[in-house]
Structure 1
């Protein structure tokens, strides 16, 4: 099999990149190690920056996003006594859209056949070969054990933190930056209406909490727990009690409780691998970087990578611009590090760290009080939350 671009990973970044390249007339094959149903079963965040929404609009695949997505003109920071509203519309003149990553993935996946985007699911033993040559290739095994090979001009690794793409970079050719946090997020999904019309990020003596939603009838809630916490120790009732305590009196009064339909603990880390390119292999999204979810940057940062990667590949294939691919990593990383900074700073502000002294706690209080009374501070948060320009 031959193609111009082989994409490893059929998550939202791989699908989005594939659609953008096909729209530009570039041949693409996507290889995914699990089934389509498994991909759609992944529960992920769903706060979309304007840049991400614009990419979907450009493809003409935004009809369900527009009809079912929830446009939010602000969000809230809670300090135990009050809600500090960050008015995005007033401060920076734009909004974010709440639309589940699963639903975005479904939209991109279902549009693939009619747009000529080939996706091979359940491909095991995926390996990248000769990406530092002019003839890179990808090998894998299909579900029946048949070995396959795809010859491509460019390989794009959209296969996440644990995929083979980053591991294919030559030894010593890249550098890793990492911060592993000593806590995780215990989250539940429940078919109950949200306790508030906008997201609430809460700082409490017991730890962080987040009130979020997927729709007007489905809510997503999180609380900070130790990284080694046993999920079996958390009944639904215990979770709801702790969440209500951390959110504070106002949101707790409107909190609707219900059975969890999904419950999990997600570890938190900040991670960057650079450069995001070696030869004819480009790293995109979580294969190159991870952010703690506090700033709602994970999917959006992958989408900004897709923006830069698709522009570079279109320039290379359609205009013969050999420098475009060489410049991809530097452009992507400039935005990656700014998003890492914002996610790290908001995580530091809103969580309780085991080694923090009373001094650090008072610094959090002072910072939140400053934000509550400073339009300049709120504007800085707002412009980062809605996403810096690409």
Structure 2
């Protein structure tokens, strides 16, 4: 470009931009990208073991599938239904919420969404105005900041590390609060760390939010996946005075091995749910009726499906933590919930491994995929470089083989 020619940026040449700045700023889902790459390599004949995707390796229970098959044959499911969800499903979600967390809500406070991601976006969109700040504890799931940005909000990160079990303190939250703070994002059990806040910690966070008049979005998708002495505690139940400014996101994906069915929901104050429902009526209309019927069968039933999965997850949890901590330079706290391990690999960065010196966890993850044919997600995707996320929602044999490959490769670091 010759001297004096202006650079074609947003201020001088907006017509040249093919993709809007708002959408162009969205990063691809790192977890889905890693999973897609692992599957592509496996399809090409490579023996890749993937620790990337956060989905149970169990099939959806038969009784749920059979309900969907029957729903396909019923003509009433071939038509539009209310944008906010089937009335009977909304009522069942309200009943399930009382059963599982002790929070009494009305069906009118429920919006059924196309998975948890839509629930999260619509909740933020219904509550945030431009420049409103949302305090987001990190490590965080990759979708949260992107949804906040799409809604016009600003993410304010509060970082926790392995020394605190990846849990933030009220003092950290207060230090991050400003006059522009409108919301707190609170997630327990956590993706990507598996951290679970104690009842006392949940109460302390809730009272702090209530004291300062903040809204809270709490993601309860992993509510049933807790281990040992850990306890899931629902924030609006622990701190009832916060309930009128609390929005809960949940879904059937993790509890019933239904990640591909795409049914989630938002629960909150009636005016917020009405606004989010209006948004959904223009964005997607109703969720697939067949999937909603399957979700109804799932949540109206018992929890035997997740109880069976938990036995396997707990076994794998203990195995992966033990094996990761055997690697010099790796520190992995024991997760108490969800199905992820989040080891620190800072002790390996800068060391030579097969002729390469990874300076970041992203570079280390790329090396691991190339040299060990194991797919992991680097901590950069979750706001905390220097870590890796490994999902242990895969078969026992693959888990052991995958981490054994990691042990052999990373033992070469020098």
* TM-score in terms of structure 2 length: 0.23
* TM-score in terms of structure 1 length: 0.24
More helix by share: 2
More strand by share: 1
